[in-house]
Amino acid sequence: MSKGKRIAVTGMSINTPLGDTLPGFLDGLLAGRSALSNWKTIDVSRCYSKVGADLSEYDVAKKVASFEGKIPADVWKRLRKLVSKAPWSTKLSMLLAVDGWLDAGLFQVEGIDTTRVASIVAGHNINFNYQYQNRLQYAEEPDYMDSLLALTGLDTDHAGSVSEVLNVRGPIYTVGSACASANTALRLAIDELRYHGNDYAMVVGAVLDFSPVELHAMALMGAITFQSFNDTPQKASRPFDTKREGFVPAHGGGVMVLEDLEQAKKRGAKIYAEILAVETNSDANHLPSPSEEGQSRLMARLLKECELAPEQIDYINAHATSTPLGDLTETRSIKRVFGKHAYKLKVNATKSMLGHTCWAAPAVESIAAILQMNGGMLHPSINIENIDPEIDLDVCNGKSVEHAVRYCMKNSFGFGGINAVSIMRTPSAEEANLGALGAELRRLGRKS
């Protein structure tokens, strides 16, 4: 086990097309509902790929209004002011941060030293579409572009805006590791608590604001689906299926609030999970070519770091992007590390319903995993009509599965040969202290 403080997840928030509440999100996952559609407000008329999980019509004003009376009046006033002027994705980062802080019960805690609170935003080039639209405006009439682009176009504006809303005065920064970003941010958040004297740390998995340029470039590279499912978008994300042809870009974000486990117990906080450790490595290859050697080496290293035998892992929330090589490589890596136990594990693919939320995916999918762990039920992997014969693991094919989880592994593998994997522990019912929320999560598990 890693030395130092034990780290608890005491607050979470989510925003995907399946829902912006934790119970609603879990309900959608357990029901096997797809979040995918054709893009609505992104102009993909010249793009090969027309499919995504779209939050562009999300009612920001309604969400802001929902916080009135639930958070301190000065925070709500700042939130309204900042959201009114911010780029779209930055608005969502602030809403997620406030929601996560509220869920952690930290607005009710007196005497928090805000100089000992860290906030880390996961992602890079987050505001793609905002920058793209301003470049179009510059080409048409430069003086009509957003005069604040030089500030609000930067990723650090997400960190600064979250900091201002919540009055966070400790370390704030962004970290970019492609689709492993939020797991890398989680690793850094643990470091902030263990080694840098901070009391709380927040990981903000920001919503990636795709522009048509990135979507078309990824299609040209062959990374995303575009050949077969433009007219049936809900079937487009199909990890483990023989007809998978690339991942589905998706809007989605999530926040995790972390603190020392003993501190959380003393203040009577909800404890969703304990993060045992996060480890990272690289494949020494900038191309999107997953490495069985790199992935398996990292999983084995993490198990050793956590002093766990492979047989103690009950469930893997897979990276499982729906790419032909990626899904096979991850399966081979799991078999290499877990041996015979690989066939006793439960594995599922959250991206089969959500698509790939890219930089935020490790946070979004860790939240999904934690909710399943607390509900005692794993969601299905959908759209598996003909499973790849080499993928012979229990991937929760087409149906939710009752399964008690003590330890969960979360895999994340990003472009640039960047790998990041975490292990989480489910707390006991007494330790979790989830109250009515815990009862609701278990009810949703039984319902499915």
Residue 286 annotated to the active site: no
Per residue in 386-397, pLDDT tens?
999 999 999 999
Per residue in 188-204, pLDDT tens?
999 999 999 999 999 99
Per residue in 326-340, pLDDT tens?
999 999 999 999 999
pTM of the model: 0.97
Residue 408 annotated to the active site: no
Per residue in 404-438, pLDDT tens?
999 999 999 999 999 999 999 999 988 999 999 99
Residue 179 annotated to the active site: yes
Per residue in 148-174, pLDDT tens?
999 999 999 999 999 999 999 999 999
User: In this predicted structure, what is the pLDDT of residue 4?
Assistant: 82
Convert 216-243 to b/e letters by CB count within 10 Å (16 or more is b).
bebbeeebbbbeebbeebbbbbbbbbeb
Distance CA 375, CA 440 (A): 8
Distance CA 362, CA 388 (A): 24
CATH class belonging to 277-447: alpha beta
pLDDT, average across residues 344-351:
98
Sheet strand arrangement including 418-425: 172-175, 117-122, 200-205, 253-260, 7-15, 273-282, 418-425, 407-414, 315-317, 346-348
CATH class belonging to 7-266: alpha beta
Distance CA 197, CA 200 (A): 9
Instruction: Given the residues 251, 356, 379, 403, select the one marked as catalytic.
Output: 356
Per residue in 275-291, pLDDT tens?
999 999 999 999 888 99
Query: Per-residue confidence at 2, pLDDT binned at 50, 70, 90?
Result: very low
Distances, alpha carbon 383 to alpha carbons 56, 198, 227, 245, 386, in Å:
25, 43, 16, 13, 9
Largest CA distance in the chain: 64
In the chain, which segments carry CATH 3.40.47.10? 7-266, 277-447
User: Percentage of the chain with pLDDT > 90?
Assistant: 97
Burial of 90 (0-12, 13-18, 19+ CB in 10 A): buried
Distance CA 178, CA 222 (A): 17
Instruction: Given the residues 47, 158, 306, 319, select the one marked as catalytic.
Output: 319
Query: Per-residue confidence at 446, pLDDT binned at 50, 70, 90?
Result: confident
User: In this predicted structure, what is the pLDDT of residue 3?
Assistant: 63
User: In this predicted structure, what is the pLDDT of residue 448?
Assistant: 76
